[in-house]
Structure 1
Amino acid sequence: MSSKIEYTKPASLIPYSVNFKQSESEMSLSEHLEELRQRAFWSIGALIVSVIVCLVSVKTIVKVLQEPAIGIKFLQFAPGEYFFASLKVATYSGILISSPFIIYQIILFILPGMTRNERKTILPITLSSLMLFVLGLIFGYALIAPAALNFFINYGSEVVEPFWSFEQYFEFIIVLLFSTAIAFQLPIVQVMLGLLKVVSGKTMVSIWRYVILGSTIIGAVLTPSVDPLTQIIMSSIVLVLYFGGAGIVLLIDKSRENITYESKI
């Protein structure tokens, strides 16, 4: 068995335009592994740099995270609590900032080994996934987090003073933001299932009763708080995302049927 594989040779860091038909060349297994090493090196380097930058400006990031908690005073209940919480903030922020670059490096590594149709599919799906993830973070920060926090503040305002541990608050807000961002990936999962012909758009629409029940459960699971308003908002968003994804799959199915019909003529 030959140790040669078909692959594109460049392993550059800077974006470039590639003509896959003209640039495909035989690449040895050692060269293939060398490119993988370079991609991993740049990805890890980007992650480390991002974490360091976030650590330097961690106070600014902390103030941004505290913004939804209006009127709350944060306390440090243990020695070094704020310090270790700051390290977590910087690490999560660094991962978030460097993730587009890391995904870009992964795509550059696997793209030349794909077929033309696979390339046409993977790029739009990846970009859409990143956009939806960012929209989920923004939505969680701007709407869901304030709604949840206001519920907790107002619920016990006549009984207790709102003094919170920053570390516990940070863990709460991070879970809330990332849960919302993950929920926004639902249309991507649906589109992939539709493209793989696992589930059709009509089937996705026909099970709407189960979807409503499932969205209620998902809203309760993904929401780190127990207030009904936040869970209702999350469940509603899951429903909108689901039926939006089902609509896209219906369009894909319709386009596929038209292509099949034209090929028979």
Structure 2
Amino acid sequence: MSEIADERGGPSRAVTADAILPPDGMTRPPLAPAGDTPPSGPSGEEKVMSLVDHLAELRRRVAISIMAIVLGSAVGFWFAPAIIELLLRPVPGGKVVFLSLTGGFAIHLRIAFVVGLVLALPVVLYQLWAFVAPGLTARERRAALPWIPMTPVFFALGAAVAYATLPYAVEFLLSFQIADTLESLLTAEHYFGFVTTLFLVFGVTMQFPILLILLAKLGILSVDRLRATRRYVLLGIVIFAVVVTPGTDPISPVIMSSVMYLLYEGTILILRRSGQGRTGAHRGNDV
């Protein structure tokens, strides 16, 4: 029992503990810890502010990525003549023509943009990671983080495979010329469109093993499932390679599908030897 003084200065009155307890069936709301202040404003305003902050962060990350691509493109524009000469080596005579006044400048811009995209890839990936990482669990972050730096490496490997494929693809496509009847006149727009698409497709495709390893680390895929679906995966790889490779030559899709399937088998071997991606792997520790 405690005594509480009357606000009008009257005598104090006794108050029992039962008088300050909540009625039956109700619980007292927990008191806020010392130093904590209750949120101001309605909850709807908090959600709007959180969304605004989220969009502002996204805009900042995108702006940094675009700036990195622009700077990389400036470097690529400087080296564009040397890169163009390198890419023209598979062409007989090492020359192509452009059919418009701005054609040469457009080719330089195309080459510069692709080079800028490749050079800015580490920055773009870091900005993407910094944006999505707070929404991931600790286990997801641990699974993905070691493979983020490997993405540019695999992209460069894919570009190297594309460059090795290019001479065979060009030779095959030009083999259908007929002397004095059907002669090729390569335009710069079509040739470099073919080349840049080939490089980008091979570079992106080489991320295939990274995706498989991440899914295995997260417990979504297992080695047993990867081994059991070999035939379907091989069929899907062949269809994918035929669809995404530019041109109509059989060389590019054959090389791409072969490389992708070798990467698939290599991923199974790595997961099996490392003990990751086992069937029934637990999915705990998500915090």
Post-superposition offset of 1:156: 1.7
Provide structure 1 residue ranges, at least 5 long, that are not aligned to the other structure: 4-27, 261-265
CA distance in 2, matches of 1:185, 1:234: 13
Post-superposition offset of 1:240: 0.5
Question: Is 1:80 aligned to 2:102, yes or no?
Answer: yes
TM-superposition CA deviations, 1:24-55 (whole Å, max 9, x none): xxxx9799887766554443332222222222
CA contact 2:98–2:187 (8 Å) conserved in 1: yes
What residue in structure 1 maps to residue 129 of structure 2? 107
Q: Which amino acid in structure 2 is aligned with residue 101 of structure 1?
A: V
| Paired residues for 1:167-186 under 5 Å | 167-186=189-208
What residue in structure 2 maps to residue 117 of structure 1? 139
What residue in structure 2 maps to residue 18 of structure 1? none
Of the two, which has the highest radius of gyration? Answer: 2
What residue in structure 1 maps to residue 223 of structure 2? 201
Question: Is 1:163 aligned to 2:185, yes or no?
Answer: yes
- Which of 61, 64, 88 lines up with 2:83 in the alignment? 61
Post-superposition offset of 1:154: 2.6
What residue in structure 1 maps to residue 26 of structure 2? none
- Which of 112, 120, 130 lines up with 1:98 in the alignment? 120
CA distance in 2, matches of 1:216, 1:258: 30
Distance 1:108 1:86, change over 3 A: same
Question: Is 1:192 aligned to 2:214, yes or no?
Answer: yes
RMSD: 3.1
| Paired residues for 1:1-265 under 5 Å | 39-108=61-130, 110-111=132-133, 116-141=138-163, 143-156=164-177, 158=179, 159-251=181-273, 254=276
Q: Which amino acid in structure 2 is aligned with residue 63 of structure 1?
A: E
Post-superposition offset of 1:218: 2.0
Distance 1:258 1:52, change over 3 A: same
What residue in structure 1 maps to residue 14 of structure 2? none
SS at match of 2:101: coil
Q: Which amino acid in structure 2 is aligned with residue 51 of structure 1?
A: S
CA contact 1:144–1:233 (8 Å) conserved in 2: yes
Q: Which amino acid in structure 1 is aligned with residue 177 of structure 2?
A: G
Say which structure is richer in helix: 1
Provide structure 2 residue ranges, at least 5 long, that are not aligned to the other structure: 1-37, 41-48, 283-287
SS at match of 1:163: coil
Post-superposition offset of 1:68: 3.1
Among all aligned residue pairs of Structure 1 and Structure 2, give the percentage whose two residues are the same amino acid.
30
CA contact 1:136–1:180 (8 Å) conserved in 2: yes
CA distance in 2, matches of 1:170, 1:69: 11
The TM-score normalised by the length of structure 2 is: 0.69
SS at match of 2:186: strand
Q: Which amino acid in structure 1 is aligned with residue 140 of structure 2?
A: E
CA contact 1:220–1:231 (8 Å) conserved in 2: yes
Distance 1:33 1:217, change over 3 A: closer
CA distance in 2, matches of 1:196, 1:258: 11
Equivalent residue pairs, number = 235
Post-superposition offset of 1:135: 0.4
